[in-house]
Structure 1
Amino acid sequence: MAETNGEPHAIQLRLDELLSERGMTLTELAARVGVTSVNLSILKNGRAKAVRFSTLTRLCETLGCQPGDLLLYRPDNK
C-alpha cells in the first residue's frame, strides 16, 4: 500500500497508462493542464496527499476521460 507522510492509502492514478494510450508525455500533459511536471510526477508516483477537483477536472478534459478512468482503488496495492 502506498504511503503519504506515513499514512497508507490505496488510491492510485493511472497516468502512465492514459499517457501511453494517447501518445503524450508527462511534460506535455503538465503544460496542457497548467500544473508543474513535478506535481504531476508526485501524483503519478502515489506520493500526493490530495488532488484538487480543479486539477482532476483539467486532467479529465485533457485526457478525454472520466475520473474513474484515472483513479484506482487497490486496498492490497497489487
Structure 2
Amino acid sequence: MAIVVDIDVMMAKRKISVGELAERVGITPANLAVLKNGRAKAVRFTTLAALCEVLECQPGDLLRWEAEE
C-alpha cells in the first residue's frame, strides 16, 4: 500500500489506548483498528479531523505516502 498509517505512533507518543481514542473520536474500537492497521480503503475527513484534534497533531503525522516497490 502506498499510503502508510502512523496512528499507532501518535498513540504511543500521546500514551492513549485504542479504547480511549475510539471513544474520544466517536468511532468503534474495531473501526479504529482497521484504520490503525492500514486495512481501511478510505477515511472520512471528519474522522481524520477528530483524530488530529484528540491526538493534537496534523494529518501528515498520521498518514504518509511511500513508494511501492
TM range (shorter): over 0.9
TM-score by length of 2: 0.93
**Higher RCO structure (Cα 8 Å, ≥6 apart):** 2
Paired position in structure 2 for 1:29: 21
- Identity over aligned residues, as a percent? 54
Q: Give unpaired runs (5+ residues) of structure 1.
A: 1-8
Q: Tell me whether 1:11 sits opposite 2:6 in the alignment.
A: no
TM-score by length of 1: 0.83
Deviation at 1:12, TM superposition (A): 1.5
Greater helix share, structure number: 2
Greater strand share, structure number: 1
Q: CA RMSD in A?
A: 1.2
Q: Give unpaired runs (5+ residues) of structure 2.
A: none
The structure whose Rg is larger is: 1
